[in-house]
Amino acid sequence: MKSKLNITKTLNRIADLVELIIAFIIIIAVLCLLGHVIAGLFTRQFLLGQFDFHELLSGLFNIIIGLEFTRMLCKHTPETIVEVLMFATARQMIVEHSGPLDTLLGVIAIGLLFAMRKYLQPGLSEEDGNIYIKNLRHTIRKRRNKKELPEEDS
């Protein structure tokens, strides 16, 4: 039984190490892309105003998504996953210039991601300082209770 536990721990450590190596490779790629974007700012076309803004925007979004993805590999929290998905969806909507239906679906997706971020992520309880999971039912119940309380007379 102990050998199985040791193998599991070893495999988890190897997986963590591989994730860190991948994160390091992504950071190197992000730095190279950042250098390319910065170098592109000093070209003759850019200085004369004859540059492709969509290419610049695409490169910047790719840098942001790469950084957020690296953060996700290192932190393993729901917050980082939601942030990566929000940036990827926003990049798709802004850079790709999809049709109206795709844009509407992207806006709905980002709205749902914001709702998930607000209602489904861990938070800190004000009463006892313990970590709890906020959920929609708890929030709605709390708001209803505040409305149902009688107002104080002055």
Break the chain into its structural domains and give their ranges: 1-76, 100-154
**Amino acid 129: pLDDT:** 44
Q: Please enumerate in sequence order all residues whose Cβ is within 8 A of that of 36, keeping only pairs 6 or more positions apart, or say none.
A: 59
Q: Is the pTM of this model over 0.85?
A: no
Contact 75, 98 (CB under 8 A): no
Render pLDDT for 84-106 as a digit per residue (tens, 0 to 9).
Answer: 888 888 888 888 777 888 889 98
Nearest to 23 by CA among 76, 60, 61, 59: 76
Render pLDDT for 135-150 as a digit per residue (tens, 0 to 9).
Answer: 445 555 555 565 554 5
Nearest to 70 by CA among 22, 33, 136: 22
**Amino acid 149: pLDDT:** 47
Higher pLDDT, 122 or 21: 21
Render pLDDT for 54-76 as a digit per residue (tens, 0 to 9).
Answer: 888 888 989 998 998 898 888 87
